[in-house]
Structure 1
Amino acid sequence: MEDIDLNLLVALDVLLAEESVTEAAKRLGLSPSAMSRTLSRLRSVTGDPLLVRAGRSLVPTRFAESLRERVHAVTEDARALLRPAASELDIATLETTFSIRVSEAFLELLSAPLVSAVTRAAPHVRLRFALKPDKEPHMLREGLIDLEIGVLGVPAPELRTRLLFRDRLVGVAREGHPLLSGKAVTTERYAACSHVVASRRGEFAEAIDDTLETMGLKREIRVVVPGFPDAMRIAASTDLVAAVPISCLGKNKVNEPVAEFGIRSFELPFKTPEIQVAAIWHPRADADPAHRWLRSIVAQVCRATYP
Structure 2
Amino acid sequence: MQLDLNLLTALDALLEEGSVAGAAARLHVTAPAMSRSLGRIRRTTGDQILVRTGRTMTPTPYAIAVRQQVHELLHQVEGVLAPSREIDLATLERTFTLRWHDSLIALSGPALLAAVRGQAPGVRLRFVAETSGDTPELRRGEVDLEANSNRPGAPDIRAEHVGESSLVIVVRRGHPLTRVRTLTAKRYADAEHINVSRRGNLGNALDTALAGLGVSRRVVATVPTEAAALEFARGSDLLVSVPEATARPAVADTGLAVLPLPLELPLAPVYLSWHQRYDTDHAHAWLRGLARTALARCEAP
The alignment's TM-score, normalised by the length of structure 2, stands at 0.90
Shift of residue 295, structure 1, vs aligned partner: 1.6
RMSD between superposed Cα atoms in Å: 2.2
Match of 2:111 in 1: 113
User: Is 2:131–2:198's contact at 8 Å kept on the other side of the alignment?
Assistant: yes
User: Match of 2:194, SS?
Assistant: strand
Match of 1:298 in 2: 291
Match of 1:15 in 2: 14
Match of 1:24 in 2: 23
Distance in 2, matches of 1:48 and 1:124, equals 43
Match of 1:146 in 2: 144
Cα 1:188/1:139, change in 2 over 3 Å: same
Match of 2:168 in 1: 170
Written as runs of structure 1 = structure 2, the 5 A alignment for 1:1-307 is 3-87=2-86, 89-134=87-132, 136-250=134-248, 258-260=251-253, 262-304=255-297, 306=299
Shift of residue 111, structure 1, vs aligned partner: 2.6
User: Is 2:157–2:275's contact at 8 Å kept on the other side of the alignment?
Assistant: yes
Shift of residue 209, structure 1, vs aligned partner: 0.8
Cα 1:173/1:69, change in 2 over 3 Å: closer
Name the stretch that deviates more: 287-296 or 138-147.
Answer: 287-296
Shift of residue 59, structure 1, vs aligned partner: 2.2
Superimposed CA distance per residue, residues 66-115 of structure 1 (whole angstroms, 9 cap, x where no aligned partner): 3322222222221222223332x332332222211122222333333333
Shift of residue 305, structure 1, vs aligned partner: 6.2
Shift of residue 131, structure 1, vs aligned partner: 0.8
The number of residue pairs the alignment matches comes to 300
User: Is 1:52–1:58's contact at 8 Å kept on the other side of the alignment?
Assistant: yes
User: Match of 1:76, SS?
Assistant: helix
Cα 1:65/1:177, change in 2 over 3 Å: closer
Cα 1:37/1:240, change in 2 over 3 Å: same
Which amino acid in 2 is paired with 1:108?
A
Shift of residue 304, structure 1, vs aligned partner: 4.8
* Long gaps (5+) in structure 1: 253-257
Name the stretch that deviates more: 190-199 or 59-68.
Answer: 59-68
User: Match of 1:156, SS?
Assistant: coil
User: Match of 2:26, SS?
Assistant: helix
Cα 1:268/1:74, change in 2 over 3 Å: same
User: Is 1:51–1:58's contact at 8 Å kept on the other side of the alignment?
Assistant: yes
Shift of residue 47, structure 1, vs aligned partner: 2.1
Distance in 1, matches of 2:52 and 2:260, equals 90
Cα 1:97/1:32, change in 2 over 3 Å: same
Match of 1:255 in 2: none
Distance in 2, matches of 1:80 and 1:56, equals 37
Which amino acid in 1 is paired with 2:278?
A
User: Is 1:186–1:269's contact at 8 Å kept on the other side of the alignment?
Assistant: yes
User: Is 1:250–1:305's contact at 8 Å kept on the other side of the alignment?
Assistant: no
Cα 1:119/1:42, change in 2 over 3 Å: closer
Cα 1:158/1:51, change in 2 over 3 Å: same
Shift of residue 184, structure 1, vs aligned partner: 0.8
User: Is 2:194–2:223's contact at 8 Å kept on the other side of the alignment?
Assistant: yes
